[in-house]
Amino acid sequence: MSKTYATGRRKRAIAKVWLTPGSGEITVNGMSLDQWLGGHESLKTLVKLPLKVTKQLESVNITAKTLGGGYSAQADATKLAITKALVAYDEEFRKVVKPLGLLTRDPRKVERKKPGKKKARRSPQFSKR
- Give the residue among 103, 124, 120, 127 at the shortest CA–CA distance from 6: 103
Residue 117 lies in a domain: no
Over range 92-117, report the average pLDDT.
94
Residue 123 lies in a domain: no
Burial label for 17, CB within 10 Å (0-12, 13-18, 19+), is buried
Handedness of CA 37, 108, 54, 83 (dihedral sign): negative
pLDDT in tens, 48-84: 999 999 998 999 999 999 999 999 999 999 999 999 9
Q: Which domain holds residue 28?
A: 4-97
Q: Round to whole Å and give the CA distance between 64 and 79.
A: 10
C-beta pairs of 67-72 under 8 Å, 24+ apart in sequence: 67/13, 67/14, 68/12, 68/13, 68/14, 69/10, 69/11, 69/12, 69/13, 69/14, 70/13, 71/37, 71/40, 71/43, 72/43
Residue 81 lies in a domain: yes
Over range 15-44, report the average pLDDT.
92
DSSP state of 91: G
What does the pLDDT read at residue 1?
53
Residue 107 lies in a domain: no
Residue 38 lies in a domain: yes
Residue 21 lies in a domain: yes
Other C-beta atoms closer than 10 Å to the C-beta of 72 total: 16
Residue 73 lies in a domain: yes
Overall domain count for the chain: 1
Residue 129 lies in a domain: no
- Give the residue among 47, 53, 58 at the shortest CA–CA distance from 17: 47
CATH number for the domain including 45?
Answer: 3.30.230.10
Q: Is the pLDDT of residue 109 over 70?
A: yes
